[in-house]
Structure formats: structure tokens, C-alpha cells
Amino acid sequence: MPLAASTYLVAHELSYAYPYRGRARSVPAVSGISLAVARGSFTGLLGPNGCGKTTLLKLMAGVLSPAAGSVTLEGRVLADLPRRVAARHVAVVPQDTHPAFDYTALEIVLMGRHPHLRAMQLEGPGDLAIAHESLEATGTLHLAHRPFTSLSGGERQRVVIASALAQQPDLLLLDEPTASLDLRYQLEVAALLRRLSREHDVTMVMATHDLNLAASMCDSLALIRNGRLLGHGPTNEVLTADTVRQLYDVDADVRFHAEAGHLTVTPVRRAG
Amino acid sequence: MITDGSTHAGVHTALATARPIRARLAWTVSVFGLLAAATCVLAPLVGSTPISLRRALDPSLPFASNVDAQILFIARLPRVLAGALVGASLASSGVVFQALLRNPLATPFTLGVSAGASLGAMLVIILGGTIAVGPWSPVPAASLAGAAVAAAIVYALANGPRRAMSTTVLLLAGVTLNAFFSALILFVQYLADFAEVYRATRWLMGDLDVGGFAPILGALPLLVGSAVIFAVLPSSLNLMGVDPDSASSRGVDVAATQRWAFISASLATSAAVALAGPIGFVGIVVPHLVRLLVGVDHRIVLPASALFGATFLVACDLVARTLLAPVEMPVGVVTAIIGGPFFLWLLVREG
Amino acid sequence: MAARARRLVPWNRISWPALRLGVAVLMGLAAVAAGCGEAAPPPDKARRIVSLVPAVTEMLFAIGAGPQIVGVSSYDHFPPEVEALPKVGALLDPDTERILSLRPDLVVVYGSQTDVDAHFKKAGIRTFNYRHGANGAILATLDTITALGAATGHDAQAREVVTRVTTGLDTVRTRVAGLDRPRTLLVMGRQPGTLQGVYAAGGVGFLHEMLGVAGGANVFDDVQRESVQPSTETLLTRAPDAVLELHATAPAGNYPGGELAVWDKLASIPAVRNRRVYSLVGDFVVVAGPRLAEGAEAMARALHPEAFK
């Protein structure tokens, strides 16, 4: 596949299976997925629960090593990059975060500076400034010295996003970032992510099962079912009633909502 | 829902998060270091027998007839040194085990290392073993061997090829080993002669009167080795303490960090227990107290706990050997009397 | 069983005065029974004796009751004849079934083994309570020998043994009379290869008394307990003139300079400086039995070699 100048990440024939003890076969999670992510784009990995989108995200992050295939970042193979170097380019926002200890929001954001520090180096004033900027970008600067566990769900996610931003990544991977949030905070975080995508030139890939969220935020979608790629392309082209039926076994009404400014998906009935 | 978080995490003092870490680390190490140094300098001067420092250091008096000097250099100094080293090791391995198990209630004894050490010691005391290994006399040597066996079993059970250790498996393996070895200990004691049982029970209460500098020198390489590993763990422990997967995506080799954490903390605990017997509560009271004062950043908590652990144990030993003079209380009893109520208070507070 | 019986009793129908009288009668009977168990020895002499106490086993052999013994404790080693006898456990783990299978008519138990004692009494078997004498320990030992003589029908031999021991002790006393009494640390045990966990004789008990007979002054004379656990500091403060280590069996282990080399750590105490650190091996030094005099003599030889030339 020719490497377009604007391509940031290429996933090539990725396969991965989770090892299961005591079973003859392991369970395949991702099978032969190939995907290119354009620089500056906001791509959604869309599919039902268990379809392999989280696994795909972890493969893109380098947290998991593919059984077959490869991930390249701007032409460099991810598996060949030292962990710390890769971490300077790719950051992950997990679905939810449960720290074992009572860190403050600022401490958690500062941890995002880890890949940029040498082995035993402590954060300096520069790192502190970047952390403050990140908190500000997510509207959480006033929470800096509050213990993370005392924050609301929406505040926590925003702090975690700030923490990922502090890594100054080229690529931000988000795993169901609004799944555990109330509606109000869902919209809050969604608006934040859209703004960050536009203003900070960060390429984003988001795994989600929420069709409307994906429609509202992503400019391109990759549809995944049972570990395989069903389709990939700009949202308006890819998100149709047909593809929704293929993905979810649901008959839905897909139409453009003028006031919201994006496609909306309204499930009507179960298909078949 | 906005909650008021200001009262939740406890006393965040001037040492806590508002200031940049370099300043906080320098400040914390200075304060705790000074405290430890002061305790270690003053402790040898106090004891069940009053001694005069001037007489003890008087070079004109021959050592053989200078009782004050003999007490200071032969009895008290090794004891204070042992107390400082054991206290520092138990406290810092407590911090590391808590990070490894992602649980602030873990202790250095949770994973069975101490039970293995105790079983080794029991077997020698009761079966009358006599094999000394270098500066290690039979009981500490066997204790070390027992600890190593226990740690090896837990490690083997919890470790998989190239994948991270499962904290659940770690915990289950450790707790099971604890129960199993404790049962064996009781069984061995049951088979023993009355006097042996008494000596065995006495060992289980902990004793910093290690009988000179030789045993301390024997333990020193292990303690220093574990301290060296401790020095590089904290920032990784921080990241893993928030979220292991995020840590991995930030450049931390989670599996390797877990292994090194387990090995170093087990090494420190084994050496400490082999030297002075299982002294409880240091490994949990000190890290908790330190976190209340300086926050939870492991880069500060680990060195501060080591220093405060030294202070705490030397102080407890001072109480143990002077409170009911001339009778000595076992130091493990003093740490328990202080630690137990403190722990209950912590639990009440959290709940 | 009493509890179950009680449940069948209708509580509201009990006459409380009757109950109080009943309890008083029961207590009276128990007191009489307890008194009987300890005071008056029954008339017949014992023919099948089981002994759980090594010291008593020795005494029984010494007074000629050896052939009447059918079972001994797991810790019995003297005299050699005990090796052939069945072993039935000891203080913590007496094998009551085994004991009963030997059909004894007298069982020697420790004073603290009250439940075992009750068990045998219920089975109608006579028991002899061995109380480890604390004050006047030597006298208590001699009294025990006498009592055993009565219980087994060997009164005359018991008297002989008592006389022999008393004479032996007096002989030792005479030999060391008038000599300086060194302040002695009597070590009953410690961790091997190190000075940790030293466990010494206090100012009470048969070891302390034997030391007195042997011409030594206990460095822990003022401690009113049978055992003391001195720390290194205490050892330095008390500065004994002599150290006697007592071992039932020879300590194994190959330490450079010998097992006693550990004391060199305390090179400043008089006992080490003047090379008066001794090791006495043999269970006759740790058993309060008929060989008390031999034990005292061994101690005296170590402390006052010049008196035995």
C-alpha cells in the first residue's frame, strides 16, 4: 500500500489471540486487520462489545505484541522502537482508571511526562508547565491538588486525558472514553476531544460501541466485527443502515441531523 | 457531582504535593534523615544500665576494664545498627509489596517469605542443626534458606513467560504458603522438647540483640543489593499504581518491574527476618504514617519509609529494653502494641 | 453430658435450696477425693509402672524398681535399660492409649498434666504427681525419691539412695569449703554458633542449688526465677568470673576454635579473660534425679580444679 504523506499509522494484517490456560486453542481476538490512519484525523473503531476493538487499540499502542502482522508509525515498525521512544508518540486513554493509591490530579498528569524523562530523572519546571497546560486544555486546572479519587467521573476522565496530552503524543488512542459517564459528562468529554483534535493537531483513534458518539466525533470509521474489518472510510460514506445491520443485527434509521451537524443513528428494531 | 476532596486523603503537609518534587524530595530526605541519625546516635547512650559517654570514650582507660565502653561498643552499638538496618528494610519492602499487590494493606509478610524464614529457623532450633555458613550461624542461615524456598515457590506460581504477574495469583500463592508453613511450624514445635519450644517461641518474637557485628555484616550484602534495586523502582511503581496498561504504554516494562519488585522486596525481608526474627507491624505502620505525611509518590515514600523505619524500630527497641528494666520485652511485642491500635485507628478513619 | 441432662430439667420446678445443698455436697465430695489422690498412698506396691518423667525414671531404677517399669517417656535415655522399653510420649503429647494398653497400675505424670491425670483416675489407675520443685529443689528431689520408695514398695532402697546422694553432696561441699566462690553464669541453652538467645539459671531451682553446693555463686542470684534471658548488655554488666555451659548431649557442629569460641565476643568479661569458660556434657547435669551429686561434682571440678587434685 503506498504510503501517503499524510498517513500516520499503518496496521498491516494484524492478528492476535489471547492465551487461555488449559484450552487447546486460544481465542482469536483480531484476525488479519489492515488499516491506515491519516494524520490529524479522528478515527473511530466501531463495533459491538467483544468485537476486538480494544485489542486492536492495544496492538496499536504496543501494549500487546501481534501474533502476526505489524504496526508502523510513520514508516517505523512499532515493535522495533524502544518502549520509551514509542511512548513519546503514542498515548493511551483507558476506559476507566482506578489508582491503587491516592494520587492527586497533578501527580497523575505529571506521570505523562515519564517517556520524556531519563531513567532516574525527576520532573523539572518545564514538565510542570506542560502539565499545567494539559490540565488547562481539559478545563481541570482548578482540580490539580485534589485527590483523583475524590473527583467525579467526568472530571476523572478529563484528568486522564490531560495526562495523555502531557505525553505530547502524535497519536492519542482512546478506549471507550465516555462509556462509564453520565450523559452530561459524555457531551462534555466529547466536545473536549473534538476541540483537542482540531486545535492541537493530535491524531485520534477511539474505540467505541456507541454509534451516535462515533458519528458525532469521528471523521472516519473502521467497522469491526468478530475480529475482522468490515469496512473503513469517511464516516458519511461508511455509516449506513446496511453497515449498522451488519455490525449489530439491528435495523436502524441513519440520517443527517442538521442542528447537531452530524449523522445520527436511531435503532428501530432487531433485524432478521 | 462535585465532592469536597480536601478532607479525604489525610494530612497533606508542607511536605506534600503543592511543591515541585525535587524540593519535596530534598526536604523529606533531610528531615527524615536527621531524625534517623539523631535516633541512632542517642539510642546507644540509653539503656537498662546507665553509662557515661565520657568514660566510654576515654582512651586512657584499658578496654578490658572499661565497662561503659564494653556496653556501648559490644552490646548497644551492634543492636542499634541491626535495628536501623532491619527497620529500614522491613519498611521499604513493605512499600514495594504494597505497590506490587496494588494494596496499601499488604505487609512484607503477606506473601509467605516470613513464614518460610520462620520454618527454617524452627527446623534448626528443634532438630538441632549446626551448619554455619560463613558469618551466618545455623539458625539465621536456615532461616534465609527457608525464606528463599518460600519466595521461589510464590515466584514460580505467579510468573508466566513474558506476561505480567497476576496479582491475584501472587496473593493466593502467598496466603496459601503462609497458612501451610504456619501449620508446619506448629507441627514441628509439637514434636519438640520443652526447652526447644521455648527457644523457638522466643525466636518468633524477634530479637535485635544479634550477638555482634558479624551477623550484620553477613546480612549487609543482601540488604545493600535490595536497596540498589529499590532505588530504580519508584517511578515505575507510580505509573503501575495508577494503571498497569497505561504504564506499559508510557514505557514501563510492567512484567520486569513486577519481577524486580518481588525479588528485591523478598530479599530485603528474608535478610531482615533471618537476622532478627519476624518483627511485625514495621512494614505496614511506617509506610502508612509516611504516606499521611508526604503523599503517595513512591519516589518520596520509599526513601522516607526506609529512614523512618530505621527510626521507628530503633525507638521501639529502646522502649523494649528499658521500659521494664532489667527484664527485656521482645521488640516484636512493642511494635505490635504500638502498631495494632494505630492500625485500628487507621481503619476507623478510612471507614 | 451434664449439660444435656440439665436441659431435660424443667427449670421452673427446681427447688433452689435443694440445688444449693446438692452443689455443696458435690464440692465436699470432690475435696475429699482430691485430698485422697495426693495424701495417703494406697497399700499395694505398684507392679506395672509407666513413667512420663525422665528424672523419675532414673529414680525408679536407682531404688530398684526398674523391673517394675513397663513404659517410659520419649525423652528417657538413662539408664541404658530404658532403650528397650516402650515409649509413650511426654509432657505435651502423652499417648494415653498406649499407656492404657500397657495395663499399668501406677503412672507418673507431671503436676501440670491435670487432664491426663484425671483420665487415669477415672480409669481407676493410680497416678504419681511429679512436681518440679522450685524452692528447696534438692530437698524436693530427695523427698520424691522417698515417696517413690513408698509407692513401689522399695522403701529401704529409697532410703539408701537418699543417703548416698546426701553424702555425695556433702562431700562436694566439704571439698570446696573455704575456697573463693566465683560469680558464675550457668548457661542452660543458647542458639548454636552464636551468643543469641542465652538462657541462664536464675536464683531459684535445682541448678542454682547445685551450683551453690559446687562452690559457685550464681551471677543471677538476685533473680527470683528459675530461668533468665540475659541480653548482651546484661552479660557485660554482670561480668561473671566463670561460665558453665550445660549440655545434655554433646553439641555437634564444627566451629573454628570450638563451640565455646563464641564467648570471645565478650572478651572483656573476667570469665573469658581468665579462660574460665567450661562446657559440661551429660544429662546428669540437667536432670534433677539420683545423680545430683555427680552433677554437683562435675560443676565443682570445673570451678575448683585445684580442690580435686
Fold for the domain defined by C49-166: Rossmann fold (3.40.50)
- pLDDT tens digit string along B178-222? 999 999 988 888 777 767 787 888 888 889 998 788 889 999 999
CB neighbourhood size of B187 (10 A): 12
- Per-residue cell: B153: 515457590
Report yes or no on chains A and B touching (3+ CB pairs under 8 A): yes
C237, C269, C281, C283: which to substitute to probe chain B, counting the most B Cβ within 10 Å? C237
Whether residues A100 and B103 touch (CB distance < 8 A) is answered with: yes
- Per-residue cell: B142: 536456615
Between C132 and A212, the more confident residue is A212
Which one of C188, C237, C251 has the shortest CB-CB distance to B49? C237
C-alpha to C-alpha distance for B256 and B77, rounded to whole angstroms:
39
| Largest Cα span, chain B | 75
Q: Does B61 touch chain C (CB under 8 A)?
A: no
pLDDT at position B241 = 94
pLDDT at position C254 = 59
C-alpha to C-alpha distance for A238 and A44, rounded to whole angstroms:
11
Whether residues B245 and A150 touch (CB distance < 8 A) is answered with: no
Q: Does B24 touch chain C (CB under 8 A)?
A: no
Q: Does C191 touch chain B (CB under 8 A)?
A: yes
C-alpha to C-alpha distance for B239 and B255, rounded to whole angstroms:
13
- pLDDT tens digit string along B221-244? 999 999 999 999 999 999 999 999
- Please provide residue C86's backbone torsions phi and psi, each rounded to the nearest 5 degrees: -65, 140
Interface predicted TM-score (ipTM): 0.88
Residues in chain B closer than 8 A to C252 (CB atoms): 128, 130
Report yes or no on chains C and A touching (3+ CB pairs under 8 A): no
Listed residue (B256, B250, B25) closest to A114, CA to CA: B250
* Residue C308 pLDDT grade (very low, low, confident, very high; cuts 50, 70, 90): confident
Whether residues C233 and B48 touch (CB distance < 8 A) is answered with: yes
CB neighbourhood size of C77 (10 A): 16
pLDDT at position B44 = 92
Please state the domain extents for chain A: 7-89+169-270, 98-168
Mean residue pLDDT of chain C comes to 81
Radius of gyration of chain A (CA): 19
B246, B298, B301: which to substitute to probe chain A, counting the most A Cβ within 10 Å? B246
Specify which of A75-79, B27-31, C173-177 reaches the highest per-range mean pLDDT: B27-31
- CA C196 to chain CA centroid, Å, is 25
Angle CA A135–A137–A140, to nearest 5: 40
- pLDDT tens digit string along B160-169? 666 677 888 8
Report yes or no on chains B and C touching (3+ CB pairs under 8 A): yes
Residues in chain B closer than 8 A to A81 (CB atoms): none
Position A65: which residue type? S
- Would you say residue C95 has pLDDT above 70? yes
* Residue A67 pLDDT grade (very low, low, confident, very high; cuts 50, 70, 90): confident
The reported pTM is 0.84
pLDDT at position A23 = 55
Lowest mean pLDDT among A209-223, B135-149, C186-200: C186-200
Size of interface A-B (CB pairs under 8 A): 117
C-alpha to C-alpha distance for A107 and A235, rounded to whole angstroms:
37
Whether residues C265 and B207 touch (CB distance < 8 A) is answered with: no
Which three-class secondary structure state does DSSP give residue A117? Answer: coil
Q: Does B350 touch chain A (CB under 8 A)?
A: no
Residues in chain B closer than 8 A to C235 (CB atoms): 75
Between C37 and C112, the more confident residue is C112
pLDDT at position C133 = 63
Q: DSSP code of A122? A: P
pLDDT at position B274 = 93
Residues in chain B closer than 8 A to A119 (CB atoms): 232
Residues in chain A closer than 8 A to B10 (CB atoms): 102
Ramachandran area for residue A33 (φ above 0: left; ψ -120 to 50: alpha; else beta): beta
One of 3.20.20.70, 1.10.1740.10, 3.40.1350.10, 1.10.3470.10 is the CATH number of B21-350, namely 1.10.3470.10
B127, B136, B137: which to substitute to probe chain C, counting the most C Cβ within 10 Å? B137
Please state the domain extents for chain B: 21-350
Q: Name C143's Cβ contacts closer than 8 Å, sequence gap at least 6.
A: C133
Whether residues C189 and B195 touch (CB distance < 8 A) is answered with: yes
Strands of chain C, DSSP E: 49-51, 69-71, 106-110, 126-130, 183-189, 199-201, 217-218, 227-228, 242-247, 277-281
pLDDT at position C1 = 40
The percentage of chain C sitting over the pLDDT mark of 70, rounded to a whole number, equals: 82
Which residue, chain included where needed, has cell 562436694?
C172
One of 3.40.50.450, 3.40.50.2300, 3.40.50.1980, 3.40.50.1820 is the CATH number of C179-308, namely 3.40.50.1980
- Would you say residue B10 has pLDDT above 50? no
- Would you say residue C123 has pLDDT above 70? yes
- pLDDT tens digit string along A168-193? 999 999 999 888 788 888 888 888 88
CB A56 within 8 A of CB A45: yes
The half-sphere exposure of B112 on its side-chain side, counting CA atoms within 13 A, is: 27
CATH architecture of A7-89+169-270: 3-Layer(aba) Sandwich (3.40)
C-alpha to C-alpha distance for C304 and C294, rounded to whole angstroms:
15
Domain with CATH 3.40.50.1980 in chain C: 49-166, 179-308
